[in-house]
Structure 1
Amino acid sequence: MTQEFDLTPDARVLQMLGEINLHQWRCVAELIDNSIDGFVGAARAGTPIDHPEITITIPTPNKSDARLSIRDNGPGMAIDVLERAVRAGWSGNNPLTNLGLFGMGFNIATARLGTVTEVWTTRAGEPEWVGVRIDLEGLRASQSYKTPRQTRVKPDHTQHGTEIIITKLKPDQRAYLARSANLGAIRKHLARAYSAILRESEAGRIRLKVNGTKLEPRRHCHWDPDRSVELSDGTVVHAVERFDVALAPRRYCTHCMRALSGDEEQCPNGGPNCEIVTTERRVRGWVGLQRYLHKSDFGIDFIRNGRKIEIGSKDLFAWNNGDNAEIEYPIDDPRNRGRFVGEVHLDHCRVSYTKDRFERDDPSWEEMVRVVRGEGPLRPQAAKQSGFDGNTSPLYKLFQAFRRSSPQGKNGLWSRVLVVKDNDRSEQMAQSFYENDADYLDDERWWKLVEEQDKEILGESGDTDLPDGFLDDGEDGSTSGGSQGDTDGADVSPEPEPAEPPAERNQIHELSRKYVHPTYRVEFQVEAFASEPTDKALTGSLPWSFELDDVATRTYAFVMNPTHDVFRSTTMTAMDALLTELSVQTLDFLKGQVHDVTLANILADYRSSYASATRLEPSEVISMANTGLEEFAKAVANLIPEGQGQTYYAELSKPDREHVARRMAARGVVDVPKVISEGRFWEYMDPQAVVATFTRHPELFFDGKYWSDPYETLSFGADHIDEEARRRLVLRYEAYLGDTLWLANQSSRDLETANRDEIIRASCSLRLMKPDVDLE
């Protein structure tokens, strides 16, 4: 009878690790981590590597002999360290301060990509490279984990580093890597994951090259941190809010890789190799505002020891009330686009063995959440209802200032929310930012667009200074008809007429950009200007002109006269004029090259690409109408005098009260009397009933409470005239609310067949019913 059991795992275990679903770029990242740890370890030991570099070679042909390699010029490993490094599950580094040297991640990554892996390493002064070959199929056939040591010639004894070579790539992996688009995706992912390390690390600036191309860190395209707005309570919120918070030190077992709870003195596992250390802990980073909106490209990156483990996470944008998670951002954009971004360094929190997620059950995660977003909901009203108050976290502040993607109120300014209205243009400029175009690295071009948008709202036409000589012709102040007097009786020659100054052109940044036809790829680089009727480009009272201005750069100048009669129309804008010119030019270019092309389809394509902001998209306007009515109803709780909620509730008809009761029950409201006394029952009313209540109590909304129009403060000197003016004011806003109700009650199919003028009118009413004050 046997006296012991042999628990050596079957060699198939290593092959099974390769079945774990790990994205190709993460497999490469696992091997990059090993190299970075080597550089960092050398720096900490006082022997830093000069010009640290990691070179990745990814096969592009889909051939059976394809190989993937990662090579560095790090310190290299001793033979005994190499032996342990490739052993399944082993890790020889402090997981708190390193990315993790080899270990399980190495085995998963290499087995995922191929069936044969070689690891070669050498240190400075050693005469040869030493290597180990891991052949998964060979190990399985021999049922043994033993593999011979290998060596190769090293001509230069000063050379040092490590190289990992993966061969016999799996067919699906070869096919994926052979697609050129996937090589670009891997580069993009790695540039983002290691952006902090590529900028600077303990080991200095590490160069990372993929197939000969040096990776530049992919930075966030956020607004300048110095840009800020002031909330109604005086709080200043910056476009980038930074934080660096020290947490209480915690004891940690380096052998078991787990943190101890506050009352634990020893590791619960109690193993002989357990080693307890006390670790200092910090949560640092920033949250900020991206310069463009996007449906998916936003969120917070979570970083461990310099590598981004989670990229673009949306988890902090949801409030978990214990039963379910409520999405709080983005909720104010009709297209469900967001722009909150950030980076959070969380070195002391556990991550999954595949290093693609922080463990949410680690207490350190909850501590980070409290630092970054605080306790309770981000929505002020929801926070108040849930009993949370006094949140000063960076994400909470950012939410209060910039949650919306358009200005609040009829006269709201875009600078108040830092949004470029033409988001397609903003995204195009962001692409130039990501390509490291020097003209787009700062946010000035975005800011000029915002300023133009505000001028349009404020009715400003730009610089109104009078030109020199407008009021007088002489330097001494004499007018053009005055006499200079005699000069010793001599004839005085008349001074030559001063040359008329050229018309002043003001650039229209909103229109200045590259335009590309989506089908035929005809390109135009355009600089747009607003000018005066006297501009030489507008001779003959032209409303606009379009000419090739710079032959070398193929840049066209679009010059328009904003005071021309053609632009005094709701159906003709500068954008319409420019797209018409582009269409004519494109049609002319395509003559003789493309058959069956017409001005109509070219113009339609251009408008689809560049005039999306003026589209009457049914689903979007319906969503905006519903959102507007919800905000209107929610605002009432703050408008009703304190303690008067029950009085206003009693005015409701019996059917309206029953409707409110059903909605409260459906949403799980517990403290019904409190909701009624605070006036929050409006949130649960039928929208039609909300509008009817406005008609009964218009005094709650005007005089700067919701809208700025005077109501109770109206004074024309006679009571009956004041009452008539108030009645007309209420009728006007009832019409706005009625149009918004009509929109909210439509389906997309209804609007597809509705009268276009009705939709335009309702859309205008939707904008006009917006509040004039900042309610939160």
Structure 2
Amino acid sequence: MTQELDLTPAPRVLQMLGEINLEQWRCLAELIDNSIDGFIDAARAGAPIAQPEIAVSIPTADTEAARVSVKDNGPGMSLETLENALRAGWSGNDPLSKLGLFGMGFNIATARLGIVTEVWTSRRGDPEQVGVRIDLEELRASGNYKVPRQTRPKSNHEDHGTEIVVTRLKPEQRAYLARANNRTTIKKHLAKTYSALLSNSEAGAIRLTLGGARVTPLRPCVWDASRSIELPDGTMVSAVEQFDVALAPRRYCEHCMRTLTSDQEHCPTGSAHCAIVETPRRVKGWVGIQRYLDKTDFGIDFIRNGRKIEIGSKDLFIWSDGETQEVEYPIDDPRSRGRFVGEIHLDHCQVSYTKNRFERDDPAWNEMVRVVRGEGPLRPNTARQKGFDGNQSPLYKLFQAFRRTSPQGKNGLWSRIMVVQDNDRAQQMAGLFASADADYLTDERWWQLVEEQDAKILGDTPGAGDGAGIPPGFIGGDANPEDPVSGDGGVPPSGEQPPTASLPAPEPPPVRRPIFELTRKYIHPTYRAEFDVEAFSVDPTDPQLPAGQPWAVRLDNVATRTYSYLVDTAHDVFRSSTMTPLDALLVDLTYRTIEFLRGHSQDATPASVLADFRAEYCGDTRLDEQEIIALAGNILSDICRSVAGLIDGQSAEAMYEELTDREKEGIARRMAGRGVADPRALILDGRFWDYADGGTVRRLFIRHPELFLDGKYWEDAYAVLDFGAPEVTNDAKAATVARYDAYLGDAIWLADQTPADLARASRDTVIRATCSLRLLRPDVAV
């Protein structure tokens, strides 16, 4: 006897979907995806929506009446489509080119937010809206999924669109959504996630609002693609490296929603419903560098059909050989800050059912990795040691050019690595960029700071002298050839003789050179006194600079409260290692803050106010013990890692035998600690130096200074020195070795300290040792 079994899942399953951990903004994104798909469907069908718009509403108060709604003016759905859309697991018939199509994502998102969900939809020309009300508790009590269709009249038959309303929100969800800070976070996530679709999609520009406020696309704050540098081998690297690579098409089963491997002719499921199609595939996008550094705000965004699935992923910065993983970026910044960003479109790779991650076991993922970062490590020495060569991938090139966050060598230029030294200032400007301030949309303000930094290193004073800023016709300026009385003794066209006497020429305006590094808004962190300052380097004769004084701060614009800071940077007071133009400005702002607070605050003293200002704006000169120790360790590690490449044909094994037993034991312990399987191979090719400590490499330098000097790692001459007398030449060589030996000794001392040790050390000792760190940076790319 044949007997049928009812395998319909219990309604409790829907409630269990709500237990899946999905962030609140991702819940909203699932519902927004469905609206976007509707707009794109309409455009592909030749009936685009004129002004596509999605309005999202979330609660502003934690009350039982709180609700979430997502409403669009899309094409709407028929009753049959609506029924399919609400069925758990349904995903439409075009999963490759759509974002959502309701189904599982819809059920997870709505069940995560609340107990009751209503969906209302209508098409243009329909006389009424059709809808459905899903009450998870009622479904569970009834034991089935059957819910009645509902209708309501339309005031205008031409109206169209869909609205999803979630009520009886879960207590923890409504409490989260009601907080103002969380609403700001949600808006920021949506601005990033839909940055491409909101400004340009198949359906045109889509307007998205949250609580009535427009969500504007949040674009990456990167250096302009036209800025580039040249690597030592002649390779040009742009600040933004773009790519668009066509891959071989693959077969895809639309029924099973799986990509077939290249050797599979048919879907392995073998179902009669399998439908195999061939799909074109591309990996396109860009990788580039931000105009600021951050400990967390960097990484690659991965995009599927226009929506960002992963934001700020660091996975491409990790090298894995299948057994071990090593973080390759950022490794050169003492504060572990990064700036590599990018956007990669990967439409043909599978994503998780919660749409928060691309599936790493999909072959398409590894194909993308090979296109974007290549086969081997990003670190060139490590790549060569492991047998990888010839990498020209976009991320590899970016790494070679911009991995560092401070210049190499004693006279390295910031423009070579495109870094603003005052990162706090760079981040502040990035905030103005994010708020669409017109003055900060291009990278020009950042580049002005970089040029100022280079000018300090080169000893240049931009804009000084040479008659700069003097109008034509004045002493020191160019005569105007079109002026009939221009100092050339000419006669006016009328034939009249020029007057024998003339009014004295007006004084030329003072020459003022902007100091972009100091031009900013200064806000006291405690008392919130604000000073919008425009800084200028001026000559001692500037009429608004009191005679003999090094600086002056003037309130130039009362309406905007803008101050001019005029400073004679050549004044004797600044010929000091402890007094800079920034120090002078903060002293002046301290005085003004005290005046501003007079009679209002008993706690404000010049000492406390200045200390707060310096803590806020002098971070780069702060002697941070933890950062100094980390920097010393990084510099010593860099030198150790470079040795294998500096040996240049010499016997690595013979150099290993020069080591003492204690040094060999230390290297062996580090190899064992890092899981090295074949230490002998590392000894033979010189890679054992990667596992040496600072003391070992210091002693190597003393034995073989020729490996490091004469432009191989540091520029200073050694082997090429020749003063004609052997004794003088040897003394000069010994002096060079002694100098670098002292630098290395300082670095080793710093690396061996704890933050508490450095805090107890004398300030002069720490300053001297940190100066040695700068002098140990390589003068050439290694």
Mapping for residues 274-423 of structure 1, pairs under 5 Å: 274-423=274-423
User: CA offset at residue 685 of structure 1?
Assistant: 2.7
Does structure 1 residue 774 correspond to structure 2 residue 775? no
Q: Within 1, Cα distance between the matches of 2:732 and 2:502? A: 61
Q: Within 2, Cα distance between the matches of 1:642 and 1:607? A: 51
- The SS at the match of 1:94 is coil
Q: Within 2, Cα distance between the matches of 1:701 and 1:121? A: 73
- The SS at the match of 1:457 is helix
Q: Within 1, Cα distance between the matches of 2:197 and 2:746? A: 54
**Amino acid aligned to 2:766:** I
Q: Within 1, Cα distance between the matches of 2:737 and 2:507? A: 53
Mapping for residues 269-668 of structure 1, pairs under 5 Å: 269-467=269-467, 498-668=505-675
| Structure 2 counterpart of 1:238 | 238
| Structure 1 counterpart of 2:711 | 704
**Amino acid aligned to 1:390:** G
The share of aligned pairs that are identical, in percent, is 62
Deviations 1:572-594, CA, capped at 9 Å, x for gaps: 00110011111111111011111
Which residue of the other structure, out of 744, 748, 751, is the alignment partner of 1:744? 751
Mapping for residues 249-268 of structure 1, pairs under 5 Å: 249-268=249-268
| Structure 2 counterpart of 1:211 | 211
Work out whether residues 642 and 678 of structure 1, in 8 Å CA contact, stay in contact via their aligned partners in 2. no
- The SS at the match of 2:544 is helix
| Structure 2 counterpart of 1:479 | none
Single out whichever of 581-590 and 643-652 deviates more from structure 2.
643-652
| Structure 2 counterpart of 1:684 | 691
Q: Within 1, Cα distance between the matches of 2:337 and 2:621? A: 17
Work out whether residues 502 and 535 of structure 1, in 8 Å CA contact, stay in contact via their aligned partners in 2. no
Work out whether residues 11 and 136 of structure 2, in 8 Å CA contact, stay in contact via their aligned partners in 1. yes
| Structure 1 counterpart of 2:229 | 229
- The SS at the match of 2:399 is helix
| Structure 1 counterpart of 2:702 | 695
Work out whether residues 94 and 100 of structure 1, in 8 Å CA contact, stay in contact via their aligned partners in 2. no
Work out whether residues 643 and 677 of structure 1, in 8 Å CA contact, stay in contact via their aligned partners in 2. no
- The SS at the match of 1:528 is strand
Runs of 5+ consecutive residues of structure 2 not aligned to the other structure: 481-488, 490-498
Work out whether residues 33 and 99 of structure 1, in 8 Å CA contact, stay in contact via their aligned partners in 2. yes
User: CA offset at residue 464 of structure 1?
Assistant: 4.2
For normalisation by structure 1, the TM-score amounts to 0.95
Deviations 1:25-51, CA, capped at 9 Å, x for gaps: 111111111111111111111111111
| Structure 2 counterpart of 1:26 | 26
**Amino acid aligned to 1:204:** G
Work out whether residues 587 and 598 of structure 1, in 8 Å CA contact, stay in contact via their aligned partners in 2. yes
**Amino acid aligned to 2:438:** A
**Amino acid aligned to 1:177:** L
For normalisation by structure 2, the TM-score amounts to 0.95
Single out whichever of 304-313 and 668-677 deviates more from structure 2.
668-677
User: Judging changes above 3 Å, is the alpha-carbon distance between structure 1 residues 112 and 663 closer, same or farther for their aligned structure 2 residues?
Assistant: closer
Work out whether residues 640 and 693 of structure 2, in 8 Å CA contact, stay in contact via their aligned partners in 1. no
| Structure 2 counterpart of 1:10 | 10
User: CA offset at residue 68 of structure 1?
Assistant: 1.3
| Structure 1 counterpart of 2:494 | none
Q: Within 1, Cα distance between the matches of 2:466 and 2:8? A: 91
| Structure 2 counterpart of 1:73 | 73
Work out whether residues 128 and 153 of structure 1, in 8 Å CA contact, stay in contact via their aligned partners in 2. yes
Work out whether residues 643 and 678 of structure 1, in 8 Å CA contact, stay in contact via their aligned partners in 2. no
| Structure 2 counterpart of 1:197 | 197
- The SS at the match of 1:107 is helix
User: Judging changes above 3 Å, is the alpha-carbon distance between structure 1 residues 669 and 114 closer, same or farther for their aligned structure 2 residues?
Assistant: closer
Deviations 1:125-165, CA, capped at 9 Å, x for gaps: 11101111111111111112111111101121111111111
Work out whether residues 301 and 309 of structure 1, in 8 Å CA contact, stay in contact via their aligned partners in 2. yes
| Structure 2 counterpart of 1:480 | none
**Amino acid aligned to 2:611:** A
Work out whether residues 283 and 344 of structure 1, in 8 Å CA contact, stay in contact via their aligned partners in 2. yes
Q: Within 2, Cα distance between the matches of 1:498 and 1:79? A: 85
Work out whether residues 93 and 101 of structure 1, in 8 Å CA contact, stay in contact via their aligned partners in 2. no
Deviations 1:405-463, CA, capped at 9 Å, x for gaps: 11111111101111000000000000000000010000000000000001111111223
User: Judging changes above 3 Å, is the alpha-carbon distance between structure 1 residues 472 and 148 closer, same or farther for their aligned structure 2 residues?
Assistant: closer
Which residue of the other structure, out of 723, 726, 729, is the alignment partner of 2:733? 726
Runs of 5+ consecutive residues of structure 1 not aligned to the other structure: 477-483, 485-491
- The SS at the match of 2:355 is coil
Deviations 1:655-698, CA, capped at 9 Å, x for gaps: 32333333334334445454334433333333222212211222
| Structure 1 counterpart of 2:59 | 59
Deviations 1:293-316, CA, capped at 9 Å, x for gaps: 001000000111011011000111
User: CA offset at residue 732 of structure 1?
Assistant: 1.4
User: Judging changes above 3 Å, is the alpha-carbon distance between structure 1 residues 708 and 6 closer, same or farther for their aligned structure 2 residues?
Assistant: same
Deviations 1:186-245, CA, capped at 9 Å, x for gaps: 111111101110011011111111111111100000000011111111111100001111
| Structure 2 counterpart of 1:489 | none
Which residue of the other structure, out of 759, 762, 770, is the alignment partner of 2:769? 762
User: CA offset at residue 262 of structure 1?
Assistant: 1.4
Q: Within 2, Cα distance between the matches of 1:92 and 1:663? A: 55
User: CA offset at residue 721 of structure 1?
Assistant: 2.2
- The SS at the match of 2:232 is coil
User: CA offset at residue 499 of structure 1?
Assistant: 4.7
Work out whether residues 76 and 161 of structure 2, in 8 Å CA contact, stay in contact via their aligned partners in 1. yes
Q: Within 1, Cα distance between the matches of 2:170 and 2:692? A: 60
| Structure 2 counterpart of 1:248 | 248
Q: Within 2, Cα distance between the matches of 1:552 and 1:45? A: 55
User: Judging changes above 3 Å, is the alpha-carbon distance between structure 1 residues 472 and 574 closer, same or farther for their aligned structure 2 residues?
Assistant: closer
Single out whichever of 84-93 and 221-230 deviates more from structure 2.
84-93
User: CA offset at residue 474 of structure 1?
Assistant: 12
User: CA offset at residue 389 of structure 1?
Assistant: 1.1
Q: Within 1, Cα distance between the matches of 2:676 and 2:145? A: 63
